[in-house]
Structure 1
Amino acid sequence: MRLVAVADTHLFHDDLRLPPGDVFIHAGDMCRRGDLEELERALDWIRGLPYRHKVIVAGNHDWAFARMPGRARALLGDDLTYLEDSEVVIDGLRFWGSPWQPAYGGWAFNLPRGGPLADKWARIPEGLDVLVTHGPPEGVGDGSSVAGRMGCADLRERVRLTRPRLHLFGHIHEDGGLWRADATCYANVTTWECERAATVIDIDPHAITEVHVPPAR
């Protein structure tokens, strides 16, 4: 199965050239302001992509999923899979998605560090093939020149405990890349308004192989 993963497109998606694959994954921040009109534009783009499966997680700019969840989900239709602390199985592989991140700047899906975030991460089950979150875990793909390391320590600890084979995320525009640690392959798949290309990864029951991991900004 070939995964083509992006994040932080912020409605610049027309500038993004995507390679072939089986599953398209958007790890959040499809929008800028995040209203329903912006979300509809982003979803129309994703719906038109030539992938058999399309998996979406909301980001801190995707306000419609937080403020008007029913109306936002109604825009998805039957061909887009939105994950919010939930799971989907695709061709025998388990995917789990979650939109939360440590509070910063008053955006959507913010929660205080510590208990509130840990409660969300506690829902992540063991045995996952692919975990998709909008924000990064602490110490991996989370370096920002503005605020230093911004990842979540409780997310990193939950990943260590549950050991998903692959953890995809975005949110931090400056630290895209791929790393292997704690029995998990981590990838910050940000495209930062399409200045950075999509990340392409092959996954099967036995191996995870990076096909194309663009350099960080």
Structure 2
Amino acid sequence: MKILAFSDLHLSGRHAADIVAASAGADLVIGAGDFCNMRQGLDRVAAMLAGLQAPMVAVPGNGESADELRVAGFPETTVLHGGEMEFEGLRLFGLGYGVPETPFGSWSCDLSEMQAAAMLAACGHADILISHSPPRGLGDVTSGGLSVGSDAVRAAAERVQPQLLLCGHVHDCWGFRGNLGRTQVANLGPMVSWFEVEP
């Protein structure tokens, strides 16, 4: 199955246009959060992505809530936040928000490590784990050298060992690729990224 994935669109019309154009060759599109900025403009992003030519699975970033994402009007989109779904034989589990809590203020949708771990406990099996936040130690280093990824996300990936862990959130690591056991970890960014996955 051909999967087109991205994160952290942040209202970028240029990147949205690239994603829509590329979606003609995708079986599934995955958006790993932060579609808008500071809870503003989600309706504009939905309009930008209205031409998607494949179904999308999305998790909320810290820039939008799960409820806001669900009502924004994205076409053929399933929002996962502490839940799972099956798509053509693939099991997907999604967890949004910033984990651990960010320093960005009251607008940011965040979870503590304990809250994230409790939600991730529901993931018994997944071919693809979608998390807005990266796992601790992979694709999570800021420009200041701080590792800001999630221990809970890393523990879930180590336990479940999905084929893919798709994330974003830490802009300084966009494009990162690494491995955690048998799991390929990718901090996506707003560029078009392709993955081939079989159930």
Count of matched residue positions in the alignment of Structure 1 and Structure 2: 190
The Cα offsets for residues 13-70 of structure 1, whole Å up to 9 and x where unpaired, read as 33442322111111000001323xx11111222231122x11111101114x3xxx2x
Match of 1:2 in 2: 2
SS in 2 for 1:110: coil
- 1:172 Cα deviation from its structure 2 partner: 0.7
Partner of residue 149, structure 1: 147
- 2:89 corresponding residue in structure 1: 92
Output the TM-score relative to the length of structure 2. 0.87
Q: 2:158 aligns with which of 160, 185, 206?
A: 160
1:160-199 map, 5 Å: 160-175=158-173, 176-191=175-190, 197-199=191-193
Which residue pairs with 2:197 in the alignment?
A: 203
Change in CA separation of 1:39 and 1:109 when aligned onto 2, cut-off 3 Å = same
Deviation string, structure 1 residues 155-189 (Cα, Å, up to 9, x no partner): 21121111112110000111122212212111111
Matches within 5 A, 1:25-64: 25-35=30-40, 38-51=41-54, 53-63=55-65
Supply the RMSD in Å over aligned alpha carbons. Answer: 1.9
**Alignment partners' CA distance in 1, 2:9 and 2:76:** 20
Residues of 1 paired with 2:112 and 2:69: CA distance? 25
1:59 maps to a residue whose letter is G
One-letter amino acid of the counterpart of residue 93, structure 1: L
Q: Give 1:13's aligned residue.
A: 13
* CA displacement at 1:77 relative to structure 2: 6.4
> How far, CA to CA, are the matches of 1:111 and 1:181 in structure 2?
23
SS of the aligned residue for 2:92 comes to strand
What are the residue-to-residue correspondences of 1:66-85 with 2, within 5 Å?
69=67, 72-76=69-73, 79-85=76-82
1:129 CA drift (Å): 0.8
Q: Render the CA deviation track for 1:96-140: whole Å, top value 9, x for unaligned.
A: 111131111224331233x233222222x2221111010000011
Q: Structure 1: how far apart are the matches of 2:74 and 2:143? A: 39
On the 8 A contact 1:126/1:164 being kept in 2, the answer is: no
TM-score (normalizing by structure 1): 0.80
Distance 1:131 1:142 in 2: 16
Percent sequence identity over aligned pairs: 29
